[in-house]
Amino acid sequence: MEITMITNIITWILQLIFVPIMAPLCVGITRKLKAKFQNRKGASIFQPYQDLQKLFGKDEIISKDASWIFRCAPYIVFTVTIVVGASIPLFASSINNTITSDLLVIVYTLAIGTFFLALAGIDTGSAFGGFGSSREMTMSALAEGGFIFSLLTMALISNSTNLFMISQNSLLLQGHFFLSTALAFCGFFIIVLAETARFPFDNPSTHLELTMIHEAMILEYSGKKLALMEWASANKLLIFIAIASNLFFPFGLAQDLSASAIILGIIVFTIKIGIFCLVIAILESSIAKFRFFRLPDLLIIAFILNVIAIILIY
């Protein structure tokens, strides 16, 4: 019993540090692949780590109009991503976590981070921050239904709202639920693009007024706080990739907490990350960003796909 508890704690600690360590690499791989598709050399895949190191070494400039929300928001947003990253299945599905791995807990914990990010955007009274926060809240409100319903589809199939329990079922291999799972995944993938500020919802590499949403909210940040915001954004991308890959494609997850199973699970999960980064890079190299008023249509499509998926279960 004690050995099981110790291995469970060790695996949980590995999960706790995996997301913040690997997330910048995930961003670097996506940027490198995108550069290759656009016939550019591109920066090294380790460039995000160097960017974070540079930002942590810089001084901060804070507006005199900023309140405690502006100062505390980066720590709250970053902490939220760490907590969620440790509460979802990354490379093992046998971790006993019944407290923070419920699907509604995950959804609304991420919503807390989004809420404080939007508050920080408008806190200094900046025009850019204001419209960025307004756009972010609009997208989040429309995406939340699709986010919950896509996970609810998997929960109904698995008869559990615990993400670790859901990941223990090879749902795609069950013919009766194949179509529901496929529709739920399509809807969830649209939500991933919206929640992580990727094309066609946002352009993560621009500061143009007409296109930016996420960048507008963090425009007033500098130094260490900007580093935390950028790091949290990378963490969020990896979190959504983990949810998409391990709930809808749960093969390769460690079914026990032995060292060999964990190592194999990490290797398989790393391959899944690479595949999702490749898909995102292809998508961002082949389509343009949509006009803001066309974006709700995509999110409504995601919601409808998930509703159909739930109906097909029965």
- pLDDT, tens only, 267-283: 999 999 999 999 999 99
Instruction: Kindly report the length of the chain.
Output: 314
Is residue 163 within 8 Å of residue 188, measured between CB atoms? no
* pLDDT band, residue 126 (cuts 50/70/90): confident
pLDDT of residue 95: 78
Report yes or no on whether pTM surpasses 0.95. Answer: no
Q: What angle do CA 164, 198, 128 make, to 5 degrees?
A: 120
Q: Worst-scoring range by mean pLDDT, 99-113, 153-167, 202-216, 279-293?
A: 202-216
- In the numeric block, which tokens belong to residue 107? 């959804």
In angstroms, the CA 134 to CA 110 distance is: 18
> pLDDT tens digits for 134-186?
888 999 999 999 999 999 999 998 888 899 888 887 655 566 788 889 999 99
Q: Which residues make beta-bridge pairs with 254?
A: 92
Closest C-alpha to 70, from 209, 218, 174, 173: 218
Q: Give pLDDT, residue 2.
A: 58
Residue 252: partners with Cβ closer than 8 Å, 6 or more residues away? 264, 265, 268, 269, 271, 272
| The dihedral formed by the CA atoms of 138, 144, 150 and 156, expressed in degrees to the nearest 10 | -160
